Structure 1
Amino acid sequence: MTHLIRPATDADLQHLYEMAKLTGGGFTNLPPDKQALSAKLERSAAAFARDEDTLTDELFVLVLEDLATGDVRGTCQIFTQVGQHWPFYSYRIGTITKHSVELARTFRAEVLSLVNDLEGSSEVGGLFLHPAERAGGLGLLLARSRYLFIRAHRARFADRILAELRGVIDEAGGSPFWDGVAGRFFGMNFQEADAFNAVNGNQFIADLMPKHPIYTAMLGEHARAVVGLPHPTGRAAMRMLENEGFAFEQYVDIFDGGPTMTARTDQVATIRGARDAEVTAVAALKAPALLATGRLRHFRACLGHFADGIIDPASASTLNVTAGDTISHVAR
């Protein structure tokens, strides 16, 4: 395996921009806008440069590099504490029950309520793997490397963690949820709103959206049908989150209606299952594992082999470790 997870740098801007153009829209953490991406890289560099282990509002951007070519083939992001500069809004799916004595009938209506319940959580997001690399476990490496990074810097993350999955986007690039809910109040189509959101954030939606509950029965059929559903390309990501212990607890994105998954940070499977060990030898072996080493700007992760202190030569080279160094490892 010649792929390495490492912190993003300014030199990765063009690679990130080229990948952003492949997302197909609705991927707000990876906008096809160089200025917005450059701002993310600048914010990430500041986070990697800060040594204090305290919780504040930061962003870490990681990339997947093909060491054989030097190309960046994937990326992911970690937000330490959402909702600090402006409120973090979600729709919570709930039920309102009413009973009529005269009709002897009980009516239950599903409603979407605008809430800030998840404010202060950490967030994993921005995961994108180049279409040509979607084999060999690289998506799993990208996703799980974030949890090993969180484990290595636990004091800098909240006790709850969330992941927002992109909602359903139709073949024309539109969002049925946007068209049925938010789009009625903004005078712009989904593509326009998506571009604005990617650069400026979604606070403009919260500012203009009605604050009272929205009865889903009053939405069009297409909008109702996609509430809480992930984009078809996000189903595998949803399964990976579920395998890590994340659950859908009736929160959806206010922009495209996609599901928000949540978990207790210390109960995430990779964080709970990882162990630290000293490397005692470098030798060939077959013991598949996800491996990581280093802190902050020196963080590295890869897929490799490790057991009883022995690490395979390729992984040792990728992580730049030798006998006497400490690594984190978790079963694949």
Structure 2
Amino acid sequence: MTMRVRPARAEDFPAIYKMAKLTGGGFTNLPPDKATLVEKLARSAASFEREDDEQSGDLYVFVLEDAKTKAIRGTCQVFGQVGVTQPFYSYHLSTLTQSSPELGKTFRNETLTLTTDLEGSSEVGGLFLHPESRAGGLGALLARSRYLFMKLHRQRFGDRTLAELRGVMDEAGNAPFWDALAGKFFGMTFPDADEFNAVHGTKFIADLMPRTPIYVALLPDSAKAVMGQPHPSGRAAMKMLEAEGFAFDRYIDIFDGGPTVTCPTDQIRTIRQSDVHSVAEIGEGGKQKVLIATGRLNSFRACCATIGKVPKKGLCIDRQTADLLEVEVGDKVVAVSRNGST
């Protein structure tokens, strides 16, 4: 396999733009808008070039590259800290219990409260794998490479990491949750609002959204049915996140009602189970299947590999893996089993 994950560059824009047009809408972090994507790549370049290691509002964009053909087959993103330049809004689904002694009844009503509880968290998102490359474990490589990058640059990320999943919408891009709630206050369709958010940010939410809790019972069944549910195309991503330790804590997206899942950063499975090793030999490799990464910031590389272990010295990797990672004997790498710890 000649596929690897590396930091995105300005010259990757055409490939990333083509993938953005394939998402079908609702991917706020990967909008099919040229100016926004150019700005994202510029912001990412500045984040990779920043020298100090404090947590900040960085954006790191990565691509999945065929090192042999130079074709770009996927992309993903990591945000160092959400809520730095604009508030990070979510709805929190809570339960309000009310009793009436006169009626002899107790009612438990669910409410949606606009909140910025998740500010300060890091975020993984923007993951898209080209439809022609959705096989052979490439999705797992792309997704888990983000956690290996976080492991190698731990001080740049917060104590909690979140992921937002796209909510349910129809083939035309209309979202039942938006139509039932936020759409009443903005006078625009969900596709229009989602595009505006992707380009301009969420300040308009604070300007126009009601601050009082919303009683879920007042929403139509079409909206209640999709709250906290991922888009059918995102169910595989949800399973991968859950396998990493992410859990739904009753936070949902204010636009489409999709679930926001969270996990303590140090408890993310790939971060927790990965270990740092030295490259002891470059030869025939071995039989243990791993995800392996190396490099600081712009020199970060990640790929799939089969490794062996040299007692008390480190890992044995094959020449192809060494070339993909751009490492030599004595260099440090971080590795994790494709199924568990190394």
TM-score by length of 2: 0.95
Q: How far apart are 1:56 and its partner, in Å?
A: 1.3
Amino acid corresponding to residue 292 of structure 1 in structure 2 = A
* Residue of structure 2 equivalent to 1:296: 297
* Residue of structure 2 equivalent to 1:40: 40
User: Is the partner of 1:307 in helix, strand or coil?
Assistant: strand
The CA deviation string for residues 255-295 of structure 1, in whole angstroms up to 9 with x for no partner, is 11110000101111100111111111123322100000100
Q: How does 1:47-196 map to 2 (within 5 A)?
A: 47-196=47-196
CA contact (8 A) 1:205 1:255 kept: no
Q: Which moved more, 1:301-310 or 1:154-163?
A: 301-310
User: Is the partner of 1:279 in helix, strand or coil?
Assistant: strand
* Residue of structure 2 equivalent to 1:310: 316
* Residue of structure 1 equivalent to 2:8: 8
CA contact (8 A) 1:59 1:79 kept: yes
What is the distance in 2 between the residues matched to 1:311 and 1:13? 32
Q: How far apart are 1:203 and its partner, in Å?
A: 2.4
Q: How does 1:187-226 map to 2 (within 5 A)?
A: 187-226=187-226
Tell me whether 1:320 sits opposite 2:326 in the alignment: yes
What is the distance in 2 between the residues matched to 1:123 and 1:325? 29
Amino acid corresponding to residue 127 of structure 2 in structure 1 = L
Q: How far apart are 1:301 and its partner, in Å?
A: 0.3
Q: How far apart are 1:43 and its partner, in Å?
A: 0.4
Q: How far apart are 1:82 and its partner, in Å?
A: 0.5
Q: How far apart are 1:169 and its partner, in Å?
A: 1.3
Extract unaligned runs of 5+ from structure 2.
310-314
User: Is the partner of 1:171 in helix, strand or coil?
Assistant: coil
Q: How far apart are 1:312 and its partner, in Å?
A: 2.3
What is the distance in 2 between the residues matched to 1:330 and 1:313? 19
Extract unaligned runs of 5+ from structure 1.
none
What is the distance in 2 between the residues matched to 1:203 and 1:167? 21
Give me the identity figure in percent.
60
What is the distance in 2 between the residues matched to 1:201 and 1:131? 28
* Residue of structure 1 equivalent to 2:243: 243
Amino acid corresponding to residue 298 of structure 1 in structure 2 = S
The CA deviation string for residues 100-153 of structure 1, in whole angstroms up to 9 with x for no partner, is 111101011111001111011000110110011111111101110000101111
CA contact (8 A) 1:174 1:191 kept: yes
What is the distance in 2 between the residues matched to 1:40 and 1:265? 24
Q: How far apart are 1:306 and its partner, in Å?
A: 1.7
CA contact (8 A) 1:252 1:258 kept: yes
The CA deviation string for residues 152-173 of structure 1, in whole angstroms up to 9 with x for no partner, is 1111111111000111111221
The CA deviation string for residues 302-329 of structure 1, in whole angstroms up to 9 with x for no partner, is 0111231111232112112222221110
CA contact (8 A) 1:111 1:214 kept: yes
CA contact (8 A) 1:91 1:252 kept: yes
CA contact (8 A) 2:183 2:189 kept: yes
Q: How far apart are 1:217 and its partner, in Å?
A: 1.0
Amino acid corresponding to residue 134 of structure 1 in structure 2 = R
Q: Which moved more, 1:163-172 or 1:12-21?
A: 163-172
User: Is the partner of 2:109 in helix, strand or coil?
Assistant: strand
User: Is the partner of 1:88 in helix, strand or coil?
Assistant: coil
Tell me whether 1:233 sits opposite 2:239 in the alignment: no
What is the distance in 2 between the residues matched to 1:90 and 1:198? 16
User: Is the partner of 1:161 in helix, strand or coil?
Assistant: strand
CA contact (8 A) 1:306 1:329 kept: no
CA contact (8 A) 1:302 1:318 kept: yes
What is the distance in 2 between the residues matched to 1:203 and 1:237? 28
Amino acid corresponding to residue 201 of structure 2 in structure 1 = G
Q: How far apart are 1:213 and its partner, in Å?
A: 0.6
CA contact (8 A) 1:81 1:123 kept: yes
CA contact (8 A) 1:4 1:65 kept: yes
The CA deviation string for residues 54-86 of structure 1, in whole angstroms up to 9 with x for no partner, is 111111111101123211111111111110111
What is the distance in 2 between the residues matched to 1:64 and 1:137? 12
User: Is the partner of 1:280 in helix, strand or coil?
Assistant: strand
Q: Which moved more, 1:64-73 or 1:240-249?
A: 64-73
Runs of 4 or more, structure 1, over 6 Å off, are: none
* Residue of structure 1 equivalent to 2:312: none
Q: How far apart are 1:207 and its partner, in Å?
A: 2.0
